[in-house]
Amino acid sequence: MTQIIKWILLVALLLPSIAQADIAIIVHNSNTTNSISKAELKNIYRVRVSHFINRTPIIISYQPAEKEISQHFFSHIVNKSLTQLNRFWATKIFSGRMERPIQFTEDALVIQWVSQNINGIGYIDESNLTNSVKKIATIQFTTENQSKTEPSIPL
Amino acid sequence: MLLQIHLSKIPFFLSLCMALSCQLTLANPIQIGGFFSTGVAHASRQNALLTNNLIEDKTNYLSDTVFGLQLDTRLSQRSRFSAQLQAEDRNNTFDLEAEWLFISHELSPNIELRAGRLRLPLYFISETINVDQSYDWLRPPMEVYALTGGLTNYNGVSALFKHHFNASSIEAELYKGQAKDITIILNSPLFIDTHQFYGGQLTYTADHIAARISRVHLDITATFSGNSAPLDLGEVDISVAGLHYTRNNWGGLVEYGDVKVLDKGKINAYYVTLTYNFAKVTPNITFSRSRTNTLFTITTVQGDSVSAGFRYNLTDRSSMKLEILRGRLLDGPAYTFTDPPPNFDEKVTLYSMTLNLIF
């Protein structure tokens, strides 16, 4: 009996750590981009890529650092924390090399902005996806494949 | 404190902004952001100077204060307007100036042309030197960053070429223009005219490394005050090379600068910075050195300094920094002193703290 209880407790402890969340990457419905890889997404948020395939300039959106979806997105895709990125973005924004990323506090606001902005890209919980925007990727996140973030980005 | 605004520059800037906003606000709103830093500093001797800021042997509240306002808007899918207004303390005087103000046009996603007032892109952080939130030091190492004698921007044109590979990118920039600036040397305003000049920079960036080389060729005339005869420095070449490496929690940054004044001599300087990141706290230590073999220089810098400090991230967009800098003057009027001290080899210690934010 004691063994069974131990197993139940072990499984209960493990459950949250293998919980899965799908993150949808969204763009404007008229955007001709149909798919995007994790590497391309990383390049966009690390400001190595500034245009979509159709040559439309990209404006990044993001959600607050304390939200779980942001923690997943930045640690798993960008491999940086939002603090590190904000510092890095500052070097690009205040040198006139990057358009200011826009922060939204919830998925609905990201959807609304992306649906009205052909330059926009954002990430939301896939369960909140609507047909007013175009999904170009789904990222299945589990804590098992979470990457360790690194401290700083070269200037 | 004297608040002094260059009124002659404001109407031009405002009228341009108003003209743009009238046409653009409906389709392309103007994005407004900015940065602010303030702090306290204390020097162990009188008249210690860091770039244009006087820091004395009493608590100084304004020496590191800077406020910047940036306005950006899209004129079209390929064209942008960007301006940065900045007010910083220069000997208790706040001058509001357009640090840069330009219109850019993308010929393609890889090629961008700019025209207007632009930042001189010599060093790693030349373009964000007053945005303290963008780097770990409390102040950039002035042995290297003061080699330009206070020149930070120019009026002209630039062409920017960008290309990215899988996990890296390369950027090349060529520019041509002219700069007329005022800097403070030996407690006197120095008027600098570069005439037409040209330069370029090449930057490679990958996940863990960034490397940059840059060069500018100038022809400088300097005038110390209204009555004195212009001082013809002649042709000046400034070359800079830098490397930034990050791995795990460690970061290493080195930049080397070399100024050659034709037929008159040269100045060279370098610094090495080491950082280690503990979540919100980033301690850093820097050693800087500069040497010269010429007597005919205005910004002669010959000295060493060691600084140690840390940056503490208060939020994603704000930080606090503490730093102790120990500097030693070997010869000539160096950046740490407004006037040559009576005895060379004199040392100065600066204690500084700043609060920085971007918005």
The domains found in chain A, sorted by start residue, are: 20-149 (3.40.190.10)
For B202, the 3-state DSSP assignment is strand
Q: Using a CB–CB cutoff of 8 Å, tell me whether A151 touches chain B.
A: yes
Name chain B contacts of A152, Cβ cutoff 8 Å. Answer: 246, 251, 275, 277, 282
Q: Please, are residues A126 and A138 in contact by the beta-carbon 8 Å criterion?
A: yes
- Residue B109 φ/ψ, nearest 5 degrees: -60, -20
Q: Each residue's pLDDT tens digit in chain B (359 positions)?
A: 333 334 344 444 444 444 444 444 445 688 899 999 999 988 876 655 554 455 666 677 777 889 999 999 999 989 999 999 999 876 666 778 888 899 999 999 999 999 999 999 999 999 898 899 999 999 999 888 888 877 889 999 999 999 998 889 999 999 999 998 776 665 667 778 888 999 999 999 998 999 999 999 998 887 776 666 777 778 889 999 999 999 988 999 999 999 888 777 888 899 999 999 998 999 999 999 988 776 555 555 577 889 999 999 999 899 999 999 988 766 554 444 444 444 555 677 889 999 999 99
Amino acid letter, A131: N
Nearest to B35 by CA among B14, B62, B65, B7: B65
> Is B28 an 8 Å CB contact of chain A?
no
Expressed in percent and rounded to 5, the helix, strand and coil fractions of chain A are 40, 20, 40
Give the span between the Cα atoms of B40 and B35, in whole angstroms: 18
Calculate mean pLDDT across residues A100-125: 95
Shortest Cα distance, chain B CAs vs residue A95, angstroms: 5
- Supply the DSSP symbol for A65: T
> Residue A8: pLDDT band by 50, 70, 90 thresholds?
low
**Contacts of residue B166 in chain A, CB cutoff 8 Å?**
39
List pLDDT tens digits, range A88-104: 999 999 998 899 999 99
Q: Which residues of B touch A98 (CB under 8 A)?
A: none
Contact B128 A65 (CB under 8 A): no
Query: Cβ contacts (< 8 Å) between A42 and chain B: which residues?
Result: 167
Task: Mutation target for B interface from A33, A67, A77, A155: give the one with most B CBs within 10 A.
Answer: A155
Asked if B318 reaches chain A (Cβ–Cβ under 8 Å), the answer is no
